[in-house]
Amino acid sequence: MSSRIPELLEMLHTMITEAWGLPLGAEKCVIDRDKALDLLDEIRAQFPTEIAEAKRLVDARSDFINNAKREAEAVRRTAEEKAKELIDEQEIIRIARAKSNELLTTTETATAELRRVANEYVDDAMQRTEEALAAALDEIRNSRQRFRQASRTVGTQTQQTRSPSPYDDEDAFEDVEQT
C-alpha cells in the first residue's frame, strides 16, 4: 500500500510557497484555510494507516529476530551436544588407549617372564642332557675298555693256540677303531 503522505505534504508546501505575501510582513502569507485544513485532515487520516504499517513492519522485524534467535539457540545447543559427544568419544578413546597400553605392558612383562622361564628350562634340560650324554659316554668308554681287556685276554689265549695275525697288535686295533 503506497502512502499519500509525502504527496499531501508536497501539496501543502507548494500552497504555502505560492501563497501571497502580506505587505509589511515578509514572512507572512495568505493561504486558503479550507484547502490547508483539508490537506492536514487527509494527512492525519493517513497516519493511522502509516502507523499500522510501521507497527506491522516492526512486529515482522521482531518476529524475524526472535526466529533467528531461536534458530541460533537450536544451532548452539546442537553444537554443544555434538561437542559433548566428541569429548565423550575422545574420553572413550583415551581410556581405551590407556587400557591398551596397560595391557601391552602387562603382556610384554609376561612375555619377558615366560621367555626367561623357557630359557631356564631349556638350559636346564640341555644341561641334564649333556650330563646324561657325558655319563653315557663315560659308560661307553668304560664298556669299551672292558671290551678291550676282555678281547686281550681272549686274544692272548687265542694267540697261544694260533699263529700271529696283524690284528693282534693293539696299536693296529686302535688305528682301526679311530677310522
Give the residue extent of every domain in the chain.
5-115
- Distance of alpha carbon 53 from its chain centroid, rounded? 56
How confident is residue 115, by pLDDT bands cut at 50, 70 and 90?
Answer: very high
pLDDT at 108: 93
Question: Mind listing the pLDDT tens digit for each residue in 129-153?
Answer: 999 999 999 999 999 999 889 888 8
pLDDT at 171: 54
Question: Mind listing the pLDDT tens digit for each residue in 42-61?
Answer: 888 877 777 778 888 888 99
- Going from the C-alpha of 67 to that of each of 47, 64, 81, 146, 149, the distances in angstroms are 29, 5, 21, 115, 119
3-state secondary structure the chain: CCCCHHHHHHHHHHHHHCCEEECCEEEEEECCHHHHHHHHHHHHHHHHHHHHHHHHHHHHHHHHHHHHHHHHHHHHHHHHHHHHHHHHHHHHHHHHHHHHHHHHHHHHHHHHHHHHHHHHHHHHHHHHHHHHHHHHHHHHHHHHHHHHHHHHHHHHHHHHHCCCCHHHCHHHHHHHHHC
pLDDT at 158: 63
pLDDT at 78 over 90: yes
Percentage, residues of the chain above pLDDT 90:
36
How confident is residue 4, by pLDDT bands cut at 50, 70 and 90?
Answer: confident
Are 35 and 15 in contact by the 8 Å Cβ rule? The answer is: yes
As given in the structure block, the three cell numbers for residue 21 are: 505575501
In whole angstroms, give the CA distance from residue 157 to residue 26. 180
As given in the structure block, the three cell numbers for residue 34 are: 479550507
Q: Is the pTM of this model over 0.85?
A: no
pLDDT at 154: 75
